[in-house]
Each structure stands twice: as C-alpha cells, then as structure tokens.
Amino acid sequence: MYDAKDIILFIVPLLFAVILHEVAHGWVAEKLGDPTARLLGRITLNPIPHIDLIGTIILPGLLLRIGSPFLFGWAKPVPVNFGNLRGGRRDMALVALSGPLTNFILAILSSIVFHLTLSPTDPWALFSRISVPLHLMASFSVQFNIVLMVINLLPILPLDGGRIVAGLAPLPVALAMQRLERYGMLIVLLLIASGMWGYIVRPFVHFFRQVLM
C-alpha cells in the first residue's frame, strides 16, 4: 500500500508522460494539416480532456491499491483525421512517432533532474526537502516514459509503432497491417497473458534505464 505522498510522486510524472504523449500527436498533426485535435480542445495540458476512465483512473488506481512495484496507464487517444494530412502515409508515420519521441525527450530531461538531485546534503536543509521528492519523481518519470516509449513502438496497430511501419512500408504491407488492426489489442493481450510481453519489452526498458539512470 502507498500513502498519499507516494501517490502524488507516482501520479504527477505519470500524468505528464501520458498527456504530453497525446498532446504531441495532436500538435504534430496540426502542423501537418489536420486541426482535429485543436478543434476538440485536446492540445492542452489541462488533464481533464485527456482522462481515460480505464487507463488514467481505474488501472493506475488498482495498481496503487495492490501495491504494485510498477505503475502504468494511458490517456484518451487524441483524434487524428489522417485524410487531412498533407503528406499522406509519411505524415501519419510522423504523427505516430511524435508520441514516443516526446516520451524519450521527457525521459532524458527527467534523467538530468535525477542525477542533479542524486546526492542531497543535510536532510534538514531546505534544498534536501525539495531535492528528495524531485529525485523520486524524476526516477519514476524516467521509468514511466521509457515504458510508454517502448510499448508504443511495438510494430502492432493501433500502437504508434504499427502506425510508423504502416506509414513507411510498401502499400500492400500497409494494407495488410490495417486489415489486422482490429485484432491488434487482442495480440497485445495475448503477449501479456503468455508471458512473451516481458521477453519483448523488458530488455529494451532495462537498456534505456541503464543508460539514463
């Protein structure tokens, strides 16, 4: 079980990770010709429009309730009308890439904060009272953003990695992937249930954690 202070240390970096991921999709889509996210008020840091009942509230709350060693979640996907993008499938790939790239940048920035606050001085000093929670939040932020980046880069539609591959692959391959998109989340669930998820995701997460932390 976690107390209120622990929950804040978890939730703040998680919200930043998932919200900025979605905002990046909408912002890049707007720059490439699709204003849908802007028109629907989704290019904002206000968390309310981005809240997904399951991914932002129920799942993280359940993980906190059971004392899970990790925390995971997602925000409501930003709507993108790919037909409005000027560059077609290429721009679709760029929009998809923007989310994981944002998480990578956040992980790097969080890593900098993590190392700058690594050795607090006197625990009663004002600097330490600020640096200790910052250090913990930065640590969680690095982990959340790495996990989100790696998972979203898996080449399975509707994940971002699937959009990137479908945007860059020859048209027959892209069409075949789109026909399989309806089964994408089922494939992800099967990977999780079979234990293969850990073998695929964990090495990449471990590598980036070692590099950044």
Catalytically active residues are 22
Length of the chain (residues): 213
The DSSP call for residue 30 is H
SS3 string, 44-113, reads CCCCHHHCCHHHHHHHHHHHHHCCCCCCCCCCCCCCCCHHHCCCCHHHHHHHHHHHHHHHHHHHHHHHHH
In terms of Cα–Cα distance, which of 14, 8, 24 is closest to 148?
A: 14
What element of type H or E holds 15? helix 4-31
- Axis crossing angle, helix 4-31 with helix 89-116, rounded to the nearest 10: 150
CA 45 to chain CA centroid, nearest Å = 15
CA 164 to chain CA centroid, nearest Å = 16
- Rounded-to-integer distance, Cα 172 and Cα 99, Å: 25
